[in-house]
Amino acid sequence: MMKRMLTIGLALLLGCTAYQAKAQDDRGFEIAKNLEIFANVYKQLNLNYVDDVDPGKAIKMAIDAMLSSLDPYTNYFPESQMEDVKLQLLGQYGGIGALIVQRGDSVYISEPYQGLPADAAGLKAGDRIVAVDGQSTRGKNTADVSSAMRGQAGTEVVLRVEREGKEFERTLTRREIKLPNVPYYGFVGAGKDIGYIKLDEFTTDAAKHVREAFVSLKKERPGMRGVVLDLRGNGGGLMNEAVDIVNIWVPKGTLVVETKGKVASKNLKSYTRLAPEDTEIPLAVLIDNGSASASEIVSGSLQDLDRAVIAGQRSYGKGLVQNILPMPYNSQMKVTVSKYYIPSGRCIQAIDYSHRDENGRAVKVPDSLKTAFKTRSGRTVYDGFGIEPDIEVEPEYMSNIGIALAQKMLVFDYATDYYRSHKSIAPASEFEITDELYDDFCRYLRDKKLSYSTVTERVIKELREVAQQEKYDDAIEQQIKAMEQTLEAEKQGDLQKHRTEVCEMLKAELLVRYYYDHGRIEGALRSDKVVQRAIEEIDNKR
């Protein structure tokens, strides 16, 4: 009997092995067949198509089309895009160190980075870039101009710029531009005894810089009562940096994240590996719907470990891990290889790219398939839709007038004029928009033909159109006109109605002129509702 069972078992095993081998052979045949078909399609195009076909462009489009059927994070980068890859993955590139913005058919400098070539050459926000290396920028977009200004560190680029009607040239030597992971850290709260650290990216040395910032804050204020880590708008980056940032506040040997993918040998459990700086200090982490990937590893694991309170809005929900694979001819491919799982065991990926609706769009994980997990202390958390904050703070949306001022760059232009006529302003931590300054801004707008439409105006327009179709227009035309007149009168007061919002826009634009990006961040903290709510939570722990 035993011999017969062994014989049956061996037969089943051999059958399974044979089936697997056949499946692998079938898959290999399908791959070879379709690659041969693709090669012949291009061959026939090259031989017979009426016009010449650019091989690089055609193949790149084919590759992009294939990858677009997967997820938005699996991408191919030819050699010509290596500077973009370095910026995306390492936070660095060869260039002059300045943000640019397009207006009409011209491109302007919107912000030079402190101490980098553009700043050192005296270029300012509001300068119009007329030409790059003798090539006019007229009609070109920001991507074109940015590409022209970037290049290998140590090489020169000549910019012709226009300022206040006068043109001049500057020769700049490109540098390896490394964007700061931590653009600002300091103190918040009434007693200035709660630390604040803003982390923009998870590129190389992000954890080192966060740790240095935290140590510096503790040294400056030995009695520091808490710390706020701001990950809002941080789209993520390197997973190991996320693990090391969590390590600052949790003990060595703590599981932070686990990756699971198709290749079992590449599955990985990541534990903290260093001694922590502080495992007791109250910690608040700020997130929003722009916080993704590594930001969610940090916030989610600290939530699962009950080490921090999470404040803000629900995060993006990117639980996918990418690896960079070298490709022929100095190209690279970024490929999604696994999903990550934080300490409670949950994966916070919000979109299922393996399933599409009738329009070909990837679908969100439905509520019915979300699973409950437990934090270390037993609180319930869920997978499948990002990190849900412990303290939710409703996001603030721009008003119609705020959007119009931003789109027409009127705040930008006013700040440019103001900076050129005022040598200094109060320190960033103290600067506020005075009544006098705001009134001056309102006078500045009078001849700028500021116009914008509201949702109410669009609804009234639709009402008139429907009334005409249904033959009610004569009966209600007077009421519609009355509504339009009332609304127009109300819009005249929008600058006062939305004064607080417009003042914050003005303050941010002026602070970046005088104190660069760190000044803008510092100046916004006093009125930041999410920061203030985090401070309240830390105060409650006293």
Cα gap 341→239, rounded to integer Å: 12
Q: How many residues does the chain have?
A: 542
| Residue 98: strand pairing partners | 112
Parallel/antiparallel/unpaired status of strands 255-261 and 268-271: antiparallel
Active-site residue, from 86, 140, 198, 318? 318
Contact, 370 vs 384, CB < 8 A?
Answer: yes
Active-site residue, from 110, 146, 291, 293? 293
CA 294 to each of CA 38, 55, 60, 320: distance values in angstroms, whole numbers, following the listed order: 37, 37, 29, 10
Contact, 319 vs 301, CB < 8 A?
Answer: no
- Nearest residue to 336 via CA among 324, 346, 328: 324
Contact, 307 vs 249, CB < 8 A?
Answer: yes
Cα gap 123→136, rounded to integer Å: 18
Could you confirm whether 304 is annotated as catalytic?
Answer: yes
Could you confirm whether 293 is annotated as catalytic?
Answer: yes
Active-site residue, from 304, 494, 517, 528? 304
Contact, 372 vs 380, CB < 8 A?
Answer: yes
Could you confirm whether 318 is annotated as catalytic?
Answer: yes
CA 530 to each of CA 124, 348, 458: distance values in angstroms, whole numbers, following the listed order: 32, 22, 33
Range 275-302 burial, b when 16+ CB lie within 10 A, else e: ebeeeebbbbbbbbeebbbbbbbbbbbb
* Residues known to be catalytic: 293, 304, 318
